[in-house]
Amino acid sequence: MPRFYVPFPDAEVGKPIVLPSESVHHAMRVLRLRQDDTVEVFNGRGLCAKGPIHFAADYAEVVPEEIKQSERGLRLILLQSLVSNEKMDWIVEKACELGYSKIVVFPADRSEIRLTSEKAAKRLERWNKIAVSACKQCGEDFLPEIVFKSSLKSAAEEAEGLRIMLSPSAQTRSEDEEIRAVTFAVGPEGGFSDGEMNTLLGAGFTGKRLGARVLRTETAAIAAASYAQTLWGDFN
pLDDT in tens, 121-177: 999 999 999 999 999 999 999 999 999 999 999 999 999 999 999 877 666 554 556
Q: How far apart are CA 221 and CA 136, in angstroms?
A: 21
pLDDT at 194: 93
Q: What is the pLDDT of residue 215?
A: 83
Which CATH number does 75-232 carry? 3.40.1280.10
Is the alpha carbon torsion for 145, 151, 152, 158 positive or negative? negative
Output the pLDDT for position 213.
72
pLDDT score for 171: 60
Backbone angles phi, psi at 198, to 5 degrees: -65, -40
- Looking at residue 174, its pLDDT comes to 47
Where do the domains of the chain lie? 3-69, 75-232
Of the candidates 1, 4, 2, 11, the one whose C-alpha atom is nearest the C-alpha of residue 41 is 4
Q: Is the separation of the CB atoms in 101 and 180 below 8 Å?
A: no
Count other Cβ atoms within 10 Å, centred on residue 226. Answer: 15
DSSP string, 86-127: HHHHHHHHHHHHTTEEEEEEE--TT-S----HHHHHHHHHHH
Q: How far apart are the first and last CA of the chain?
A: 26
Q: What CATH architecture applies to the domain 3-69?
A: Beta Barrel (2.40)
Amino acid symbol at 18: V
Query: pLDDT tens string for the chain (236 positions)?
Result: 999 999 998 999 999 999 999 999 999 999 999 999 999 999 999 999 999 999 998 899 999 999 999 988 899 999 999 999 999 999 999 999 999 999 999 999 999 889 999 999 999 999 999 999 999 999 999 999 999 999 999 999 999 999 999 877 666 554 556 788 999 999 998 889 999 999 999 999 999 887 777 788 888 999 999 988 888 887 76
Chain centroid to CA 172: 26
CA distance 200 to 198: 5
Neighbours of 137 (CB within 10 A): 12
pLDDT score of 72? 86
Secondary structure letter of residue 142 according to DSSP: B
Q: Using CA atoms in the order 162, 168, 170, 173, what is the torsion angle rounded to 10 degrees?
A: 50
Pairing status of strand 206-208 against strand 162-166? parallel
Instruction: Give the predicted TM-score (pTM) of the model.
Output: 0.88
Q: Which helix (H) or strand (E) holds 135?
A: helix 117-138
pLDDT of residue 177: 67
Cα–Cα distance for residue pair 11/215, rounded to 1 Å: 43
Residues 6+ apart with CB under 8 A from 165: 184, 185, 192, 197, 200, 201, 205, 206, 207, 208
CA pair distance 189, 178, nearest whole angstrom: 32
